[in-house]
Amino acid sequence: MDDARTAPLPDLAWRPGDVSGVPYRVYTDPAIYAHEQARIFRGPTWNFLCLETEIPAPGDYKTTFIGDTPVIAVRDANGTINALVNRCAHKGSLVCYKPFGNVAEFNCVYHNWVYDLRGRLTGVAFRRGVGGKGGLTEAFDQDAHGLEALRVATYRGLVLATFDAGTPAFPDYIGAELLGSIDRVLIKPLKVLGYHSQILPNNWKLYVENNKDSYHASLLHVFHNTFGVVRPTMGGGIRISESGWHHLSYTERVPIADDEIGREKVRSLKDQYQLDDPSLMEHRLELGDTVTNSIQTVFPTLVVQQILNALAVRQLVPKGVDRSELIWTVLGFEDDDTAMLELRLKVNNLVGPAGFVSMEDGCVGGFIQETAKADGRARTVLPMGGSGIEPSQGSRVTEAAVRGFWKGWRDCMGL
């Protein structure tokens, strides 16, 4: 039990159960950040590590983070994927310091302590000392000095881990309805098309809220309206898990009759602009329905994305109270033909750090971080679509999923 878990949280003067607004202090207070590490990232949550296809062979590993904690995902000789805290039991050095690799065992470079691929300590250099002097005493319990192992779940090619023995099994964690929407996108064996990452100048929660906030998409991402990708008057809706923690926002290629956007004089609606090369927006329906956009969050920091034929998982890694790294793993399917690959490469212009409909998410969190640090007692308000976390059929003009995130946050934080 670590200190952050037992120490009291700073008083946020936040009415119990209230998710209709958020004190800015949650984005700026290092004490709250420390609590989040213990109660959320090392708490009862499933966190994305990698895709099964990234570590296909025995000995393959990938290093990543769950919150601040460095973690290794490694496939052992039995083909089982293990998740190990990447910290030598001796002095705490990183055991693995490369992003990917293949090993028979893990050797800490500092003093050559050796671990097998399940994290058990199998060797200590000079354990008998030299010339009968030094080394370990009988009192040293080798079995008690392995790498900390996490529970692992795999689902549709995703590999997730949790520190907490009490976290429900992944399908129960996310719930049947939203599990189905993961099935929908990760429909076939996956192929990684590449990686990039983006440093966000803001607290991690601001980016998570941004993903849950379907209200902003057509307003901030002017490209949507300017070039007709997504308008708030297209069909679709929001689904929210029973727990409130996870959500899905989707858009269908079914325009609904509502000229509200015209009446509101939305800043972003500039009908005069057209793409010179609309091949960027070509969409081959490949998932068995007419859904064009699907953004799904898994609490706390995973996003499964379909934007036309641009598929990706986004993993958010907090890097201190006012900085985060957003890691994009861009996906296709193993059976993509050349034309499909070309289509994916083009449509990926929409997303990522240079994405026509995503780049603003890189800066808008920073705009909030600037104001949040000025006055931690002030609060946001989240009034769109009421004050609860009900799903919304037919409209994405709601902040219900954002409120659901704060319910999850408060559940974990014990607030």
Partner 1 sequence: MDTAVRGARPPVPDPVLQTRIEALLADYVHCIDDDRLEDWPAFFTAAGRYHVVTRENHERKLPVALIYCDGRGMLRDRISALRNANIFEPHVYCHTVSAVRVLAAGADGFRARSNFSVVRTMADGEIMPFANGRMFDHIVEEAGTLLFAERTVVLDSRRIDTLLVIPF
Chain residues binding partner 1 by CB under 8 A are 192-201, 220, 222-223, 226-227, 268, 270, 273, 275-277, 279-280, 325, 330, 341, 344-346, 348-349, 352-354, 356, 359-360, 362-364, 366
> Min. distance of Cβ 311 from partner 1 in angstroms?
11
Close Cβ partners of 45 (under 8 Å, ≥ 6 residues apart): 162, 164, 167, 299, 300, 412
> Min. distance of Cβ 44 from partner 1 in angstroms?
31
> DSSP string spanning 284-322?
---SSS-EEEEEEEETTTEEEEEETTEEEEEEEEE-STT
Which helix (H) or strand (E) segment holds residue 346: the answer is helix 338-347
For partner 1, which is the closer residue by CB, 28 or 198? 198
Closest CA to 387 of 407, 415, 371: 407
> Min. distance of Cβ 172 from partner 1 in angstroms?
34
For partner 1, which is the closer residue by CB, 140 or 273? 273
Closest CA to 378 of 370, 390, 386, 366: 370
> Min. distance of Cβ 241 from partner 1 in angstroms?
30
> Min. distance of Cβ 200 from partner 1 in angstroms?
7
Backbone angles phi, psi at 347, to 5 degrees: -70, -20
For partner 1, which is the closer residue by CB, 290 or 371? 371
> Min. distance of Cβ 202 from partner 1 in angstroms?
10
For partner 1, which is the closer residue by CB, 140 or 195? 195
> Given its phi and psi angles, is residue 175 left (phi above 0), alpha (psi -120 to 50 degrees) or beta?
left
For partner 1, which is the closer residue by CB, 9 or 345? 345
For partner 1, which is the closer residue by CB, 264 or 370? 370
Give the long-range contacts of residues 227-230, CB within 8 A, separation 24 or more.
227/273, 227/274, 227/275, 227/281, 227/356, 229/281, 229/350, 229/357, 230/292, 230/293, 230/357
> Min. distance of Cβ 313 from partner 1 in angstroms?
13
For partner 1, which is the closer residue by CB, 196 or 373? 196
> Min. distance of Cβ 61 from partner 1 in angstroms?
16
- Tokens representing residue 99 in the block: 């992003």
For partner 1, which is the closer residue by CB, 286 or 325? 325
C-beta atoms surrounding 57 within 10 Å: 8
> Min. distance of Cβ 68 from partner 1 in angstroms?
18
For partner 1, which is the closer residue by CB, 149 or 368? 368
Residue entry with tokens 């209230």? 18
Give the long-range contacts of residues 267-274, CB within 8 A, separation 24 or more.
267/219, 267/222, 268/218, 268/219, 268/221, 268/222, 268/224, 268/225, 268/226, 269/225, 269/226, 270/222, 270/225, 270/226, 273/226, 273/227, 274/227
